[in-house]
Structure 1
Amino acid sequence: MAEYSDSITVHVPSARLFAYLADVEHLPSYMPRLTSVHPHEGDQVTVTAHIEPADAPEQDVTSEAWVHVVEEGKSLEWAAPSPHDYRGRAHVDEGEDAGTCRLTVELHTRHTGEQVEHRLKEALSGIKQAVEKVER
């Protein structure tokens, strides 16, 4: 198992970032491979992603997952059943400067290597860009 964690400062109030993240329909705006998200009753979601595996033709894949929004403490937890044991947590903290906040994302997966680290940074950057763009 591999554990990954990274953080980014976002120039919006923490409540604004948390509200944006808590709306799972925003996922495709900051997760480049996701093409659609359909929330269901409770924490369940169906996600579709466009992938380009090294050993197969590019394709769209659909899977079930769950996203649990924890209002107290401003965090989200998620998991997708797969052989990769993929799950994670995002936590929003107040920033050092007024009108900013700090987003930390932790991932747990069987995947290892620079590609996971790159995609984590890509997701953090995508969230920052998406929510700051909406804020303007």
Structure 2
Amino acid sequence: MGDYEASTMVDVAPNLVFDRLSDLGKLPTYIPWLTSLRPTAVPATAQGAEARRPHEAVHEDVDVTVGGGHRDGWIELVDEERTLRWGMDGGHRYGGELVVDFVADGTSKLTVRLHTTEPTGVDEELDRTLTTIKAMLEKEPS
């Protein structure tokens, strides 16, 4: 079992970084190991910015496909904090958060924190994931 953290600087404004990474339909294009992600249910009540308190997370249950396997999971977005949290249930516990911080005009710091019961290769996978996200974000037009 372990906790891991890695960060990278991205030459894109933090609001744009968070907007792109919080689009759940497009999130698999940024994360190399994530095949698909789709909501499993329509929330019973509206959860948009108009229906929640400031700094309150918008929660979605999701079906996650990694490789060929499906897992149940959840994602929470906190727009004001530019934070995306996630978790998956099952044989090994897995969860984490992605935080986008302001550094300077047009520059962000992207930090990923993970908690997993299967630590094999986590550091390398974090580095590969952050490298991919950074390259894709910096390549997209602002």
Alignment of 1:47-66 (within 5 A): 47-50=64-67, 60-66=68-74
% identical aligned pairs: 35
Give the equivalent residue in structure 1 for 2:3.
3
Out of 71, 74, 78, the position equivalent to 2:79 is 71
CA contact (8 A) 1:14 1:101 kept: yes
Out of 118, 132, 136, the position equivalent to 1:126 is 132
Provide the TM-score with structure 2 as the length reference.
Answer: 0.81
Separation in 1 of the partners of 2:65 and 2:35? 6
CA contact (8 A) 1:38 1:45 kept: yes
Q: Secondary structure at the match of 1:18?
A: helix
Give the equivalent residue in structure 2 for 1:106.
113
CA contact (8 A) 1:29 1:126 kept: no
Unmatched 5+ stretches in structure 1: 51-59
Unmatched 5+ stretches in structure 2: 44-59
**1:82 alignment partner AA:** G
Separation in 2 of the partners of 1:27 and 1:122? 15
Question: Root-mean-square deviation (CA), in Å?
Answer: 1.5
The CA deviation at 1:129 is 1.6
**1:117 alignment partner AA:** D
Deviations 1:76-122 (A, max 9, x none): 11000022210001111002x32010000000011124x11111111
Q: Secondary structure at the match of 1:90?
A: strand
Q: Secondary structure at the match of 1:87?
A: strand
Q: Secondary structure at the match of 2:140?
A: helix
Give the equivalent residue in structure 1 for 2:53.
none
Deviations 1:6-43 (A, max 9, x none): 00001100000000111112222122232222124341
Query: 1:46 aligned to 2:63?
Result: yes
4+ residue stretches of structure 1 with deviation over 2 A? 39-42
Deviations 1:38-88 (A, max 9, x none): 1243411112121xxxxxxxxx11112111001121101100002221000
CA contact (8 A) 2:71 2:90 kept: no
Give the equivalent residue in structure 2 for 1:29.
29
